[in-house]
Structure 1
Amino acid sequence: FFFLSVERLVATFAWAWSEKESALTIVIFIILEGSAVLWSWGWAIFEVLSDLFFKDFLKVVFSSSFLVLYEFDSIVIAVNYRVVRQINTGARINQYSVARSFQIRENVVILTVKRLCQ
């Protein structure tokens, strides 16, 4: 879920670049997905080793990292809500984009559903 938040953060601030679907966009998504897979494998190995060797220390590390990632999710959601409020103030010359407003609203929906699934 953390990497979904990172991807949504990229989509929030680089919305125009993200919407172009260029080759670099695909590279960023592959890097994020690869990082998510490596993170999952790392935690799987970490859990096996924790059961075999040292349980308490790894539980503290896991709990601490979970709290940090949860706070990061909260920050991403807050940033998107703030952008939604700015968009809702109305169109301003050279500052309003329909694509950006749809991207931000999509981010809010995705992150809200993700938060409910956690």
Structure 2
Amino acid sequence: MKKDGEWCNVTLHCSTSTNTSALSYIWNYKHGNSSSTILHNKTGDTIKMSLQPESWDMEIMCIVHNPVDRKNVSVQKICRDYDGNKTAAAIRGRNHYVLSLVVLVVLGAVWYLVKIKKKQRKG
């Protein structure tokens, strides 16, 4: 994602781990009361869009299908929490790593203190 003035440029990639030769992709968007198909073809696993601020909270859905099955995934508020480099989701993800690290350090310290206390009781 890149913000250029008032525009937010995004590239979305939709993929699956199964054989891709028989797959087709449909990209839909929903914004407010309107919805539409953006792209429908066999090789459209990636889409590039330039969005103005009034469209930053739209929902974009990728539908992957073949003659046997159909799966979809959607993303909302793509550019809404833009901070220059990362979305709010990326920032929250980083915060989860920091929180996990803090929890591990605290658990390690507790384990160490318990080990020392047991050693003191024996000796």
Question: Normalized against structure 2, the TM-score is what?
Answer: 0.29
Tell which has more relative contact order, 1 or 2 (C-alpha 8 A, sep 6+): 1
- Compare CA radii of gyration and give the structure with the larger one: 2
More helix per residue: 1 or 2?
Answer: 1
More strand per residue: 1 or 2?
Answer: 2
Question: Normalized against structure 1, the TM-score is what?
Answer: 0.30
